[in-house]
């Protein structure tokens, strides 16, 4: 079943598009409406004098751009799938670190951060396996 999923261009593209939309939404919220992010995740007024939230937004913008390029290029250059796998692996430890060190978190913030790491691991493994399957296909 997994081999069917990672071989299916529609599934790969749908996942890429979903991630592009998710990361782009994060960028918009943290750059233009950081008070919404703080309210949802922390339950406190926005206070980020060092700009770390907007820095995270820049990282999500990079994710968005790389995933968009991958969506366009992977059918002819499947190594882009491995690039996305590596990119998503960068988030494997960040959310649980955030969960452990943040002083104020709402229940929804905790749930979001708790599921984020396993979700990123699954996505990372999916794209790496998709790369291996696509790379072995005759061109």
Q: Which two tokens stand for residue 136?
A: 């072995």
**1 has a pLDDT exceeding 80:** no
The DSSP secondary structure of 96-125, one letter per residue, reads: HHHHHH-S---HHHHHHHHHHHHHHHHHHH
- Please report, for the chain, the start and end positions of each structural domain, with discontinuous segments joined by +: 2-136
Is the confidence at residue 139, as pLDDT, over 70?
no
Task: Evaluate whether 113 touches 104 at the Cβ level (below 8 Å).
Answer: no
- Section 37-43 average pLDDT: 95
135 pLDDT band, cuts 50/70/90, is confident
Is the pLDDT at 67 greater than 90? The verdict is yes
Going by pLDDT thresholds of 50, 70 and 90, the confidence category of residue 83 is very high
Amino acid 138: pLDDT: 62
């Amino acid at each position: 079943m997994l081999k069917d999923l990672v071989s299916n261009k529609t599934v790969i593209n749908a996942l890429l598009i979903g991630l592009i939309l998710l990361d782009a939404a994060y960028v918009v919220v943290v750059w233009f409406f950081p008070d919404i992010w703080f309210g949802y995740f922390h339950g406190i007024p926005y206070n980020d004098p060092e700009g770390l939230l907007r820095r995270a937004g820049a990282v999500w913008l990079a994710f968005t751009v790389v995933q968009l390029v991958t969506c366009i290029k992977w059918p002819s250059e499947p190594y882009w799938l491995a690039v996305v796998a590596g990119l998503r692996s960068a988030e494997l430890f960040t959310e649980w670190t955030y969960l452990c060190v943040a002083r104020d978190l709402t229940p929804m913030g905790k749930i979001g951060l708790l599921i984020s790491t396993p979700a990123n691991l699954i996505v990372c493994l999916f794209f790496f396996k998709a790369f291996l399957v696509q790379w072995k296909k005759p061109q």
